[in-house]
A and B are shown apart, each in its own frame.
Chain A
Amino acid sequence: MIWALGLVISAMAAAAGLMLGVPSSLRITLIAVALGGLLAWDLTGLRRRLRLAAAGDDLSIIRRRHLAWLGLAVGAGLLLTIAAMLIPLHFSFAWTTFLALAAILAMAQLVSRLLRG
């Protein structure tokens, strides 16, 4: 629970910093804050799940694959985020709203479909 709160707070802190218009040099720090929150939340979840294992279980492969997948996901996310911040794309407000709503709807569809299996 506390780690979930940590994720929310770090995301909120990073968002607040970006909204306040911090200088470009500090933006990387804000992204690092959000990334740290996400990593801490993820690794705590992993530890909690693996705590249920029996003494003799070989968890190294699970840990290894988790870290590999986490690294891939976070690396890709980080690249996208930095790219999006560095490469300015100008859209009109109407286009931005349309794209954002489309993204939200697509995400909702994706999540519900994948959850339904």
Chain B
Amino acid sequence: MRRVTLLSVVVYALILTALIARNGSLLALSLLFVTYLVAGLLRAPGGLSLEITRTLSAERVGSDVPVEVTVTVTNTGSPLEELLLEDGVPQGLMVSNGSPRHVLRLARDQTASWTYTIGGSRGYYTFAPVGVKAYDPLGLVSRERTFSLPAAGRLAILPPVLRLKYVAIRPRRTRVYSGLIPARVGGTGTDFFGVREYQAGDPPHRINWHATARHPETLFSNEFEQERVTDIGIVLDGRQQANLYGHQSLFEYSTLAAAALADAFLSQGNRVSLLVYGRFLQWTLPGYGKVQRERILRMLALAEMGDSQAFAGLDNIPTRLFAAHSQVVLISPLIYGDSPLQSEGTDDEEVLIRLRAHGYQVMVISPDAVAFEESVLRAAPPDKVRLADVELAARIARIERGLIMRHLQRAGIQVLNWDVSRPFEEAVHTHLGRPLAYLRAVAGNP
């Protein structure tokens, strides 16, 4: 019950009782409460006329980087005896220093300001309006209002970007601009590509004397493989069913991998796009350079897991978004086996092989769901589940997963089975950082 209501009830009850009992002393007693009530009501706060601004020390930061929020309030109306102000810190952000809530007195034209520090994990956060509650000096009457601040109300916490030295990819088609991706075309470059008949203008140091010695009538020159930039489409799997294991999720690891790969590909000069495939499709148009890096990181900050009937399987990836014969990188723990959401022909493995058959050079970065779930179960085994059972189940699941990976590799798909307990850059360096000649020899790409 509100304080003013309670006190009014007491006053009315005393007066009515005094009337009924015809008792003057009771009426006199009620004066004590009446005076208190009137004193509070006379100083009740009028309309709240405040000017509030909020400034953030940064509007985009990395994960767990502290951000200082400064709120300034100026009272342009009548004096406010007791004011409770609370800034609307978005859910998911933690206040590490200071407080978003303050109690103060503000005279007319007086300004108050305070700063607090927030931080949090990856996400795109929107601040709620500032809540204001003013009281009279006795706290009987309150006035509430929220102030929506038009600017500086958003904070993007970007995923951490790991620096990858080199990621070896070999798409079937490249763009015309020079870069670092082998183009399967002879010309100027660093890697040996083949031998052709000498042409006027070839520098003498390119002449292949061994081949020329076998054919005395003709001169032969070495040819090198051109290196160009290419189109790369990164697909981040945001399906809840693929990422969620108990209460733990692999999605943050996938996001981390997507950010690192996008950064590595863009710094090599490639044209990169990002598709987040989950509850719905989120698509960043292909682009180059730092602006595109920023776009992709902002989309990754927004990316969330979710489920939808339409995108239960990977078969609805809109391939027309990717340039023909370009490189597609899928980051997904993968769904396979007898998943209840999968219909005939929509198993992730089949979809990837189909994508490869359509001419895309496919790379799969797959956070190891089996190792992850095993570690989760080992850390907190459910009731009535023995560790030996967990171990056995993990062995069977690992064999099944290994088979799937091998099928994908046989279909010409580059696969990185990433145990998330290992650093991503280490896994990439081991499996994808090899020289291209080695990859050509081992992977048998056409």
A positions within 8 Å CB-CB of B: 4, 7-8, 11, 14-15, 18-19, 27, 30-31, 34-35, 38, 42, 45-46, 49-50, 52-59, 61-62, 65-66, 69-70, 72-74, 76-78, 80-81, 84-85, 88-89, 93, 96-97, 100, 103-104, 107, 110-111, 114-115, 117
Contact = CB atoms under 8 A, between A and B. Distances in A.
A15 B139 contact: no
B216 to A, nearest CB: 92
A96 B15 CA distance: 11
Interface in B4-56: 4, 6-8, 10-19, 21-29, 31-44, 46-47
A97 B103 CA distance: 45
Given A34-B29, A57-B104, A114-B44, A74 B36 contact: yes
B3 interface: yes
Given A69-B39, A111-B4, A31 B18 contact: no
Nearest to A75: B35
Residue among A27, A49, A88 with the most chain B CB within 10 A?
Answer: A49
Given A49-B103, A57-B102, A114 B41 contact: yes
28 contacts: A11-B10, A18-B23, A18-B25, A27-B25, A31-B29, A35-B32, A38-B33, A38-B36, A42-B139, A49-B84, A54-B114, A66-B137, A72-B39, A74-B36, A77-B33, A77-B36, A81-B29, A81-B32, A85-B24, A85-B28, A88-B24, A93-B22, A96-B19, A100-B27, A111-B4, A111-B8, A114-B141, A117-B46
Contacts of A93: 22
Among A27, A53, A54, chain B packs the most CB atoms within 10 A around the CB of A54
For B17, B23, B98, B139, the residue with the greatest tally of chain A CB atoms inside 10 Å of its CB is B139
Nearest to B8: A111
B185 interface: no
A30 B36 CA distance: 17
B11 A15 contact: no
A19 B35 contact: no
Contacts of A14: 29
B138 A66 contact: yes
Interface string B195-221: 000000000000000000000000000
B47 A84 contact: no
A76 B103 contact: no
Nearest to B45: A117
B143 interface: yes
B70 to A, nearest CB: 14
A18 B44 contact: no
A57 B28 CA distance: 40
Given A53-B102, A54-B98, A77 B32 contact: yes
Given A42-B138, A69-B138, A62 B44 contact: no
A11 B103 contact: no
A57 B104 CA distance: 7
A56 B15 CA distance: 44
Given A80-B31, A107-B37, 18 more contacts: A4-B1, A8-B6, A18-B29, A53-B102, A54-B98, A54-B103, A57-B103, A66-B137, A74-B36, A77-B31, A77-B32, A77-B34, A81-B29, A85-B28, A103-B15, A104-B15, A111-B8, A117-B44
Nearest to A59: B103
Contacts of B279: none
Given A38-B33, A74-B36, A8 B10 contact: yes
Interface in B276-310: none
Contacts of A42: 36, 138-139
Contact of A115 (B14, B31, B137, B141): B141
Contact of B15 (A35, A100, A115): A100
Contacts of A111: 4, 8, 37, 41
Residue among B21, B27, B40 having the largest count of chain A Cβ atoms under 10 Å? B27
Given A4-B1, A15-B14, A55-B99, A84 B43 contact: no
B175 interface: no
B145 to A, nearest CB: 11
A80 B38 CA distance: 13
Contacts of B19: 96-97, 100
A115 B4 contact: yes
A35 B36 CA distance: 11
Contact of B35 (A31, A50, A80, A88): A80
B350 interface: no
A74 B41 CA distance: 14
Nearest to B7: A7
Nearest to A77: B35
